[in-house]
Structure 1
Amino acid sequence: MQSQDKAVLLAILEAAVDAIIVIDSRGTIQTVNPATSTLFGFSKEEMLGQNVNMLMPSPFREQHDGYLSNYLKTGEAKIIGIGREVVGKRKDGSTFPMHLAVSRMSIGDQILFAGIVRDITDLKNVQNQLAQANEQLEQRVQERTRELRAAQADLLKSERMATLGQVSGGIAHEIRNPLNAVRTSVYYLRNVQNPSPEKVAEHLERIDRQVSLIDNVITALSDIARMPEPAVIPCDVNDLLRKIVCSISMPRNIQVELDLPDTGLQAGIDPNQVSIVFRNLLRNARDAMPDGGVITLTGQADSENVVVHVTDNGVGIQPDDLARVTEPLFSTKARGMGLGLAISVAILKKNHGRLDVKSEPGKGTTFSVHLKPFLAEHTA
């Protein structure tokens, strides 16, 4: 039976994936397994009978015998029975981080020590990459925090504190989800043993992608708060709409029809800013018709208003959502950020206009853009 047990132990020693080294009380190597040769580059014959400090770089090489002597005299363990991270040295002189666990054995009247060595190079690389990712994340969060604080100051100055509760709730929702994804990846990288390079890259890319989502939310909010004063000029709204329609890609199953008067749609606006409004409305109309349909742009004017209606025959908006569609960070789209209409409202307010909406679920939606005629704008 003892012979069989000995054969099993020898087989385990030979098959172990971690390096196993047995030394005596003077640090002399008594036996090693094949994994030790693979890890350090020395053959078994080159190691047997040598001091184990041959596998250590300075200053560990010079200190090792003192550790053993001190332990045998005082019983004070620094590695034995504890395990710790140390540095190993290969035959070619290169060094690598490793985890070393040492156990004491008594064979008759002889004291032996068995060390189990695991190469943790991959783990250290992951930790370093994670530290860099955390540092970059911290820097970006600090930058965006400063911008958000500046945006909040602008909100105070422009007396928009009434919407701050809605905005802060939306920010929490939009930022919490990507932060949870970042936290999941960080937990994985911190705790997984020997992750593959592909898995490491996958989680680092995931962290970067989620941080970009957070960055986009805060940037869009900053854009709303820091909207520059419009450069108002006389603008032919007909011509502006035709150019915008030509610039937006539409699926083949969606048609855009223009029903505009030949003259009379002359507004006093900043065309660059108001173009953003109409692009947002056309994209929303397109997205509201996944099965295709017709978007109609109609216009009318009187002495006080130039009005453009953007109408689709899509899915419509539920009554409970209709009053909230222009709120910052509120969206009825599965992947919408909820800022397009909020930005549009802010732009129109700067340009002395407004946005109205009517909708019937299942039949479609009409957004009405009210602008000031050029003459009224400049004689007021």
Structure 2
Amino acid sequence: MFQQDQDIFNVLLGSVSEGVIIVDEEQKVVEVNASAQKMFGYTKDELIKQHLNLLIPKNYRAGHDSHFNNFMKAKQQRKMGHGRDVHGAHKDGSIFPVEAGLNPFSIYGKNYVMALVIDISIRKEQEQKIQELNAELEKKVLLRTQELSETIQQLEVENAKRVEAEEEAKTALKREQELNELKTKFLSLVSHEFKTPLSGILTSTMLLSKYKLTEQQQKRDKHIKTITDKVHYLNNILNDFLSIEKLQKGKVSYKFATFKVSKVVNEVVYNANMLLKDGQQINYPENIDGFSLYQDEKIMELALSNLVHNAIKYSSENTIIDIIITQDTTTTTFQVKDNGIGIPEKDQKNIFNRYFRAENALLTQGTGIGLNIVKDHLEHLHGTIAFESVENEGTIFTITIPNKAEL
């Protein structure tokens, strides 16, 4: 085949740095250059007339014949390994990556294929190192990102704690200010509410000593009643203060029992009749004889008394106070309606606050703690208290309480 110009051909093959392997249509090796011999570890004599499979790893031989036949039919130059890995088999059995360019040609009526083969082991090693470096870099970036994320989370947690601490400090400061205000109000309240009745008691006591004659008994009775009323008032104030302390410390223990609603109403109305102003009248609720409750009787009496007494206190002479009571299968509703001074709209939101007194009630004797105590007790008993009021027209207070206490 290559007898003519053999020397020139050998010089050309030897000068090519790539490995050159020429095979015939039967894939038999007809020529190799020195680079190919060195690359695969064979001598020229060991390769000539050998099948090309000798240089292909066993794992890659499947389907090779079909690819070769298709290539010979097409007779087009092609670069092998594009998009997939191509490997060669060394004489010692080792496998190495290659890149091959296939070039078909014909001489003297016979078809051949020249394969230009490059050992790309170093390139693959470099690519592997680059991949490893990239993977390591990605790992470091991921780690740094995670560390940064954790740092940000820690900062967010610390910031949240700082904000929470600031809020707690503000709340504590506000509570301290409110407490100081309450203390001031309390001292002022005690000073005023105790001083007035005590002065009345002292005056009546001094006057009693002057009425020694039998015919002066009516005057003595008048002052004795004044003393009694003032003592009762002071006693009620002290009881209210004790109730507040027990509620705050959670020392209130309720005594539940079944009782007639009419029993509580009778007791409240009887005591309230002694406080009525001239011409005032209490309208007794209708059709309540069949109503019963399983609750704390004393607390219900306290709540209803407070509302009725307030209605008397803040209503003028010749007015009517209505007590309305309804009951269904689960709850009982108490309503106390008056035609008194009412509660100014701007003060209504604070009416249940301790020691608070509406602007139009400041000149009327009172402590501003009764409604607060009633509300706390009712909430403990799963009840509610609400009101509707129009200044100078009157007020309706409504208590709703379960028929049976929830233990």
Q: TM-score, normalised by structure 1?
A: 0.44
Larger radius of gyration, structure 1 or 2? 2
RCO greater where, 1 or 2, for CA within 8 Å and sep 6 or more? 1
TM-score by length of 2: 0.41
